Structure 1
Amino acid sequence: MDENEKEVNEMEVNHEENESDLEIHSEEAEGEIIDEAAEKLMEAEKKLNECVDKYQRVLAEYYNYRERTSKEKAAMYNDGLRDTVEKILPVIDNLERAVSAQPDKENALYKGVEMTLKQFKEILSGMGVEEIPAKGEKFDPNLHSAVSHIEDENFGENEITVEMMKGYKLKDKVIRYSMVQVAN
């Protein structure tokens, strides 16, 4: 039995050595697995950050595109409106001449033309079109076009004495400059 005991002892020693070897190998394997997982996690974070960056850039581009197209649409609308009003202004001028030339203010035709002119002006006002004030104002080359000049002590310097044709503006843009006579 000595030999059997010896064999059993050797087996136990081998078993213990194998277990300690296994523990060492499993610790090394655990370390490798953790290193691999950490590396994969860092790669995933890097890809996530790239995707987030791309998303934010696309979102910013879309926002800029939306703002730009909105401004372009508004500008196109205002340009179209300004062009249309510019083409209608001679009709308004003629209606004003007809009203001012009629001596009989009780005439039905006079009243009809006057109502039509009033309606035109209300529509223009509703669209944001305004008359440019002229007579009695200081001359402003951004709003007025001086077609004649007089010297008269009754008026101040660069004062508008006569408005020959009314000017109109849409918001801050001039549709048609007022044609005026300027004193001094």
Structure 2
Amino acid sequence: MENKQEKSQEDMVKEAVEEAKKSAAETESAEAEAEETEETSEEAGSEEAKEDAEKKTGKKLFGKKKDKKDEKIEELTDKLTRQMAEFDNFRKRTEKEKSQMYEVGAKDIIEKILPVVDNFERGLDAVKEEEKEDPFVQGMEKVYKHLVTTLEGIEVKPIEAVGQPFDPNFHNAVMHVEDENFGENIVAEEFQKGYTYRDSVVRHSMVKVAN
């Protein structure tokens, strides 16, 4: 009777031990699954955060290779910018060359007109006082004045000479004289009138310098 009771108790202890082992195993399995689920959730969260950052910045967090289309656009933009700069330089250079050519051409024409002005002045200076009222003389004088006014309108001006200090930039000395009526190195007489066009000399004044 006792043996049966002891045996029964022994079986109960074994069963309890088995139940405890089984319960411990299930607990460990549940914990492992929980940890795995948590890691998966963290990885998923990290991927979502990464995707959100990429959407905001428009770039991969670890770098993004530039699109070929964007590279082509940048290349064409740079090429266009360079060509525009070259064209602007060409335009400025061309305008400067045109201006210089115009200056040279204008001076050449003016040089050819000046002898006509000289002849008008010589002819009018030779007119006697009693002949100045003659209609023909008055007509020539009006033509002369019109010619001079036209030249002044295109910035052709006579160079001041008589009574001015001699300046080799404007005067061409062809004669020297000692004269107490003039100061040192002063233009005493003008043989041929000189002219400037804008800021450059078209023809130097031919003068006599005193002292």
Q: Would you call these one fold, judging by a TM-score over 0.5?
A: yes
1:168 and 1:122 mapped to 2: Cα distance?
14
Q: Hey, what does 2:100 align to over in structure 1? A: 75
Q: Measure how far apart 1:100 and its partner are.
A: 0.6
Range 128-137 or range 51-60, more displaced: 51-60
- The structure number with the bigger radius of gyration is 2
2:62 and 2:119 mapped to 1: Cα distance?
89
Structure 2 unaligned blocks of 5 or more? 1-35, 52-59
Normalising by structure 1, what TM-score?
0.76
Q: Deviations over 1:75-106 (max 9, x none)?
A: 11111111001011111100001111001210
Normalising by structure 2, what TM-score?
0.67
- Sequence identity percentage: 46
The one-letter code matched in structure 1 to 2:136 is: L
Q: Deviations over 1:2-61 (max 9, x none)?
A: xxxxxxxxxxxxxxx9xx99xx8xx99x99x87574x1259936962x444433322221
Structure 1 unaligned blocks of 5 or more? 1-16
- For the aligned residue pairs, the C-alpha RMSD in angstroms reads 3.7
CA contact 1:98–1:113 (8 Å) conserved in 2: no
SS of the counterpart of 1:179? strand
Could you list the structure 1 runs, at least 4 aligned residues long, displaced by more than 6 angstroms after superposition.
none
Q: 2:185 aligns with which of 149, 152, 158?
A: 158
Q: Hey, what does 1:129 align to over in structure 2? A: 156
Q: Hey, what does 2:86 align to over in structure 1? A: 61
Q: What is the aligned length?
A: 173
Q: Measure how far apart 1:107 and its partner are.
A: 1.1
How is 1:24-63 mapped onto 2 (pairs within 5 angstroms)? 37=64, 39-40=65-66, 44=70, 48=74, 50-63=75-88
**Highest RCO, 1 vs 2 (Cα 8 Å, sep ≥ 6):** 1
Q: Deviations over 1:129-175 (max 9, x none)?
A: 11111111111100110000001111011111101000011011111
Q: Hey, what does 2:122 align to over in structure 1? A: 97
